[in-house]
Amino acid sequence: MTLNRQIETPTLECDVAIVGGGIVGTTLASALKDSGLKITIIEAQPLEVAAARKQAYAFSILSSRIYQGIGVWDKIFPHVGKFNKIRLSDADFSEIVKFEKEDLETDYLGYVAQHNIVLTALQEHIAHCSNINWLCPGKVSSVIYEDNLATVTVEVAGQQQQIKAKLVIGADGAKSRIRSLANITTRGWKYWQSCVAFTIKHTAPQNDIAFERFWSTGPMGVLPLPGNRCQIVWTNPHPRAKTLKELDKAVFLQELQQYTGGLLGDLELVSDRVIFPVQLMQCDRYVKSRLALVGDAAHCCHPVGGQGLNLGIRDAATLAQLLIEAHNKGEDIGALPVLNRYESWRKQENLAILGFTDFLDRFFSNNWLPVVIVRRLGLWLMANVKPMKMFALKLMTGLKGKTPKIAAIR
């Protein structure tokens, strides 16, 4: 892929410097493509390396609409898994909560896409935009915030490059250097669990159902991918997760067969098993003068329900909308009154999802009898009381809360 011209001047001036060229940062740049703002994306890895990961994610209905509004969904859609149904169950409890696409009158209830498919499409979408430049690979060494601009110093090919921007965006993940340099504190905790993520191929006749199965050890998400494959994220206590990663492949598949209840037929492991610990984190502040944080740089949640990346995509769409509106009114896009609009919109909505995922994990990841009785009653109510069912479904699909304009249904 051919990128924009190389930056050769020692100092570059732009409106927005986005630190982090992953899915969330590149989504933000794509949403600002036609804004008239000059954008620089700083990514620590070569673009091909950044896009090479095979991890798959759930994409909500709202995320798909955001990408439709950006103009990139048509490139992504042919390569994604699509599910018409969602099934929630608690171990071997007979009551299963069944969500159908007819409940929302939509074509699908959600999608599953691999990292490389989405990020490559976004990279190509902005590759030839004259107002977007890349510094890649580039590592941020310092940021100086002043009243009217921020100066970002980046190491590129062994040399220092300075960027003067009206606004710096931290889209550089859970270990965000931008957040750290700005001394923004966080709250939260690490869970007692890790996730084992992998892809399987199966022989089930249907591949249009997303499963969330709760066990006392932790939830298991099963997400359909094209080619009768599924991405599975299996949560367990740390020692158990490590054991599962290291098990002989045949023994591992036997264990998996038990935990999926034979619903997927014969199973074949078609990827490595990747293990990662999980945490809940929320920044005390999403913004400071000349700075805004998006995605995992601002918040992290338990992967139950597949909400994490979708929150970041909503952050990007929301921030883009507010920056465009401020720019069109002649406002200073890096000033706190503008950035506070973003924080007030997104922080509370994100906190609600963080709390919801934390509640689900804690409520279902135990065998204490009173809790088991209450949660199974809750599942029965969700399955049989329509308002409860619809609330849960809209929350999962991103249709609760305020919708960014770019995702408006046309």
Confidence of residue 24 (pLDDT cuts 50, 70, 90): very high
Rounded mean pLDDT, 153-163: 92
What value does the mean pLDDT of the chain take? Answer: 93
Residues 77-91 have pLDDT tens digits of 999 999 999 999 998
pLDDT at position 225 over 90 = yes
Please check whether residues 209 and 107 belong to one and the same domain.
no
- The answer to whether 212 touches 86, Cβ cutoff 8 Å, is yes
Q: Residues 343-388: pLDDT tens digits?
A: 999 999 999 999 999 998 998 988 888 888 998 998 899 989 999 9
Given a cut of 70, whether residue 410 has pLDDT beyond it is no
Q: What is the DSSP letter of 261?
A: T
Answer whether 0.75 is exceeded by the pTM.
yes
Residue 54 pLDDT more than 70? yes
Q: Where does 101-216 show beta strands of DSSP type E?
A: 110-114, 132-135, 139-145, 150-156, 159-170, 186-202, 209-215
Q: Give the pLDDT confidence score for residue 10 in this predicted structure.
A: 67
**Domain count along the chain:** 2
Q: Is 207 in contact with 224 (CB distance < 8 Å)?
A: yes
DSSP string, 289-347: TTEEE-GGGTEE--STTS-HHHHHHHHHHHHHHHHHHHHHTT--TTSHHHHHHHHHHHH
| pLDDT at 138 > cutoff 90 | yes
Residue 236: give its domain's CATH number. 3.30.9.10
Rounded CA gap, 53 and 234, in Å?
19
| pLDDT, position 189 | 95
Do 159 and 61 fall into the same domain?
A: yes
Domain range spanning residue 102?
11-187+279-407
pLDDT tier for residue 6 given thresholds of 50, 70 and 90: very low
Q: Tokens standing for 261?
A: 């209840």
Q: What is the pLDDT of residues 287-298, one digit of tens each?
A: 999 999 999 999
Are 173 and 186 a contacting pair, CB within 8 Å?
no
Task: Report d(CA 371, CA 284) in Å as an integer.
Answer: 32
**Residue 401 class from Cβ within 10 Å (0-12 exposed, 13-18 middle, 19+ buried)?**
middle
If asked whether residues 252 and 322 sit together in one domain, one would say no
What confidence tens digit (pLDDT) does each residue in 239-252 have? Answer: 999 999 999 999 99
In a domain, 323, yes or no: yes
Which of residues 235, 252, 278 is at a domain's end? Answer: 278
Q: Where are the alpha helices (DSSP H) in 60-197?
A: 61-70, 73-76, 101-104, 115-126, 177-181
Decide if 4 is inside a domain. Answer: no
The answer as to whether 378 is a domain residue is yes
Contacts 24+ apart (CB under 8 A), 382-390: 382/88, 382/97, 383/95, 383/96, 383/97, 383/98, 389/97, 389/99, 389/103, 390/103
In contact, 229 and 199? CB cutoff 8 Å: yes
Asked if 290 and 374 sit in the same domain, the reply is: yes
Q: Are residues 31 and 126 in the same domain?
A: yes
The residue from 255, 278, 301 where one domain ends is 278
Note the pLDDT of residue 4: 47
Are 248 and 347 in a shared domain? no
78 assigned to some structural domain: yes
Q: Would you state the structure tokens that stand for residue 325, as one six-digit string?
A: 């509106």
Query: How high is the pLDDT of residue 11?
Result: 83
Q: Is the pLDDT of residue 3 over 60?
A: no
Average pLDDT estimate for 264-272: 95
The model's confidence at residue 53, banded by pLDDT at 50, 70 and 90, is confident
- Do 150 and 291 belong to one domain? yes
Average the pLDDT over 230-235 and give the result.
96
Give the strand pairing for 229-237 and 186-202: antiparallel
Same domain flag for 218 and 90: no
Whether residues 303 and 315 fall in one domain? yes
CB count in 10 Å sphere of residue 78: 8
Average pLDDT over residues 296-313: 95
Assess contact for 72 and 406: CB atoms under 8 A: no
Task: Tell me, yes or no, whether 237 and 174 share the same domain.
Answer: no
State how beta strands 267-269 and 287-288 pair.
unpaired
* Residue at which a domain ends, from 278, 305, 323: 278
Helix axes 23-31, 61-70, angle to 10 degrees: 50
Q: What is the CATH number of the domain that holds 92?
A: 3.50.50.60
